[in-house]
Amino acid sequence: MDLLTFKLILVLALFLLSLTIAAYSTWAERKVASIMQDRIGPNRAGPFGLLQPLADGGKFFFKEDFTPANAEKFLFVLGPALVMFISLITGAVIPWGKSLNIAGTSFDLQVANIDVGVLFIIGMASIGVYGIMIGGWASNNKYSLLGAIRASSQMISYELAMGLALLSIIMMTGSLDLKEITESQTTGKLWGIIPWGSGMNWNIFYQPIAFLVFFVAALAETNRHPFDLPECESELVTGYSTEYSSMKLGLYMFGEYVNMFISNAFMVVLFFGGYNYPGIEWVTQNWGENAAGILSVVAFLTKTVIGILIFMWIRWTLPRFRYDQLMHLGWKTLIPMALVNLLITGAVILAFAN
Amino acid sequence: MKLTNRSKVVSNKEMTLAEKIYLPAIFTGMGITFKHAVRTVIKGAPAVYSYPEVQKPRATIWRGQHVLKRDEEGRERCTACGLCAVACPAEAITMTASERTKEEKGLYREEKYASVYEINMLRCIFCGMCEEACPKSAIYLTDRLVDVETNRGSFIYGKDKLVEKINERIDITTRQSEKQKNAVK
C-alpha cells in the first residue's frame, strides 16, 4: 500500500469517527444528564435509545429551513458551514495512534505530521469564532449579534490563557510537533525520581496548573457549561443561533460536539500522554508493532471519551457563570496563573538543564 | 418601611480565598452529581414512571374524565334536568332534553332523557361540581385520563364517549359516600 492510499483511508476513517463520536455525544449527553438527575433518558429509539442521534438527524433535515428576509444570505449559510469545517479539519494533525505495519511498511496514524501542529490547532480554534460571529451578524437580529459578540469576546479572552498554558508544555518538549510531544511522554522517570515503565511519563504530572488552566479554557473555547454564555436563553433568546433552523442549527450544535471531541483529543495529546499506555514498549517488543498500534488507538480514544464524559459531568453539575464573572476569571485569574506557571516552568528548566 | 417579615438583608461580603478559586465548591458539586449518577446506574432511576407502559398510580378519588352512569338494568340514569350544567363553573356542559317513547323504556330510567349531552373537555376544570349537583347520581368523575387529541373539535365529548358501555361498567363506588351508596338504587 502506498502512502497516499493509506492517508486517504485514514482521512475517511477520521471523518467518520469524528462524526460518529459527535453524534453519540448528543446521545451520551442526554444519558449523562438523565442519570445525574435520577431519570432514565432517551430509551425509545432502539435499545437504550441508541438510534436517537439518527432520529434527531432525520428531524433536523426535514424541518423547515427558514432564512430571515433581511439576513445576509451567503454569510448566513457560510456561518454554520465554517464551524463544522473548522471543527473537522483540526483532527488532521492529531496523532491518533502509534503506527501500523502494513505489508512491511510502517505508517504513522496521523494524517498530516506538520512541525507546527500545536499552532495549527490553536489557529483553527481561533478561526472557529468566525463561524459564530458571521452567523450571528448575518442573522440581522440584535440578540444574535449580542450573542455572537459575547461568544467571540469570550473565546478570544480564553484563547490567551489557553495559549499561555500550552507554552509551558512546549517549553518542556521543545517542539510544536504533536507527535514529538506525544513521544516525549513515553519514557522517562517520573519527576526524575520515580522509575516507571514506559508510557506513563505524562505531562499532567509535571504541569497540573497548566492543565487546570487549559481545561477551563477548553471548556470556554468549546462553549461548554459553565461557560456557554452565547446561548443564555433567559437574556439572549438562544444567542447567535436564534435565527437558525433545520440543519443549519444542526450544524452549529453538531460542530460544538465535534469541537468537544477534538479539544479533548488535543488535551489527551498534551497532558495525558496521547496514545501512550502503560507498558507500550513492552507490547511493541513482545506482541509486535500492529498490536501496539491498535492498542494505542484504543488507549487514545478511551482517554478522549473519558474527557468528553468529564465535560458532560461538569455541564450537569455547574450553573452558568455570569458574564462579568467569566471575564474576571479569564483575565484576572487564569492568565496570571498561566504566566506564573510559565515563569516557574522556565526557572525549573533552567535550573535542571545543566 | 417593612412590608413583610420575610425580607432579608443582602450581604455583599467579600468571598474568601476558598470561595474565590471555586474549585472546592465545584468538586463538592461534582461529588453530589456523581453520587446521584452511581445510584441511578446501580439501583435504576428512582420515582420515574415509563409513562405509556407504566402509569403513575392515581388516587381513587382522582377527578378525571366523566362518565354517565347506567342503573343495574342498563338504563341511563340521566334525566336531563340540567343541574350539572348550572353548577358547572366553566360552563362546559350542554344538553338537549327529549321525551322517551314507550319502546325506549328499557333505555332510559326516567321519562325525560338527554338526547344530546356534551362536555367540552377543554373548558372543563375537573372540579366535580356536576357530580355533586346531580340528583340522579348519573354523572361521576372517574380516574381515567382524557385522551390526547390533535384537533379542538375532538375534545367535545358526546354521549358516545361519556355514557358507560353496558358490558364495561365503570366502578365509581369508591367515590360515593355511604349515604349516597344507600340512596342510589
B27-42 pLDDT per residue, tens: 999 999 999 999 988 9
**Residue A234 near residue A323, CB atoms below 8 Å:** no
- Note whether A317 contacts B41, CB cutoff 8 Å: no
CB contact set of B155 (below 8 Å; sequence gap of 6+): B120, B121, B122, B146, B149
The label of the residue with cell 413583610 reads: B4
- Note whether B46 contacts A38, CB cutoff 8 Å: yes
Residue B170: predicted pLDDT: 86
B120-137 tens-digit pLDDT = 999 999 998 998 898 888
**Residue B121 near residue B157, CB atoms below 8 Å:** yes
Q: What percent of chain B has pLDDT over 70?
A: 99
Residue A143: predicted pLDDT: 85
Choose among A35, A43, A318: nearest Cβ to B41: A35
Distance from C-alpha of A340 to C-alpha of A70, rounded to nearest angstrom: 49
pLDDT at B116 over 90: yes
For residue A33, list chain B residues with Cβ-Cβ distance below 8 A. none
Q: Say whether the ipTM exceeds 0.85.
A: no
- Note whether A38 contacts B34, CB cutoff 8 Å: no
A240 closest CA partner among A327, A155, A326, A331: A155
Nearest-CA distance from B45 to chain A in Å?
5
Distance from C-alpha of A90 to C-alpha of A66, rounded to nearest angstrom: 30
Nearest-CA distance from B4 to chain A in Å?
29
Cβ atoms within 10 A of the Cβ of B114, count?
23
Interface of A with B (CB under 8 A): 32, 34-40, 43, 313-314, 316-318, 329, 333
B166-175 tens-digit pLDDT = 888 888 888 8
* Pick among B15, B22, B27 to test the A interface (most A CBs inside 10 A): B22
Interface of B with A (CB under 8 A): 21-22, 26, 29-30, 32-34, 36-37, 39-41, 45-48, 50
Choose among B26, B36, B50: nearest Cβ to A38: B36
* Pick among A32, A39, A316, A317 to test the B interface (most B CBs inside 10 A): A317
Q: What is the DSSP string of A127-156?
A: HHHHHHHHHHHHTT-HHHHHHHHHHHHHHH
Q: B65 is written with which cell numbers?
A: 374524565
Please provide the distance, in angstroms rounded to a whole number, between the alpha carbons at the two ends of chain A.
Answer: 46
Residue B185: predicted pLDDT: 60
* Pick among B30, B33, B41, B50 to test the A interface (most A CBs inside 10 A): B33
Residue A354: predicted pLDDT: 61
- Note whether B34 contacts A316, CB cutoff 8 Å: no
Residues A334-351 as b or e (16 or more Cβ within 10 Å = b): bbebbeebbeebeeeeee
- Note whether A38 contacts B32, CB cutoff 8 Å: no
Distance from C-alpha of A199 to C-alpha of A191, rounded to nearest angstrom: 14
Residue A234: predicted pLDDT: 67
pLDDT at B83 over 90: yes
Nearest residue in A to B22, CA atom: A329
Name the DSSP letter for residue A169.
Answer: H
Chains A, B: CB pairs < 8 Å = 44
Mean pLDDT of successive 10-residue segments in chain A (354 residues)? 86 90 91 90 86 89 87 88 88 86 82 86 86 87 86 86 90 87 81 75 87 90 80 72 86 88 91 85 84 89 93 89 85 90 91 76
**Residue A93 near residue A111, CB atoms below 8 Å:** yes
For residue A34, list chain B residues with Cβ-Cβ distance below 8 A. 40, 45
For residue B40, list chain A residues with Cβ-Cβ distance below 8 A. 34-36, 38-39
Of B64-68, B125-129, B178-182, minimum mean pLDDT range: B178-182
Residue A88: predicted pLDDT: 87
Choose among A35, A313, A317: nearest Cβ to B40: A35
Q: In what order do the strands lie in the sheet with B156-157?
A: B93-99, B112-120, B156-157
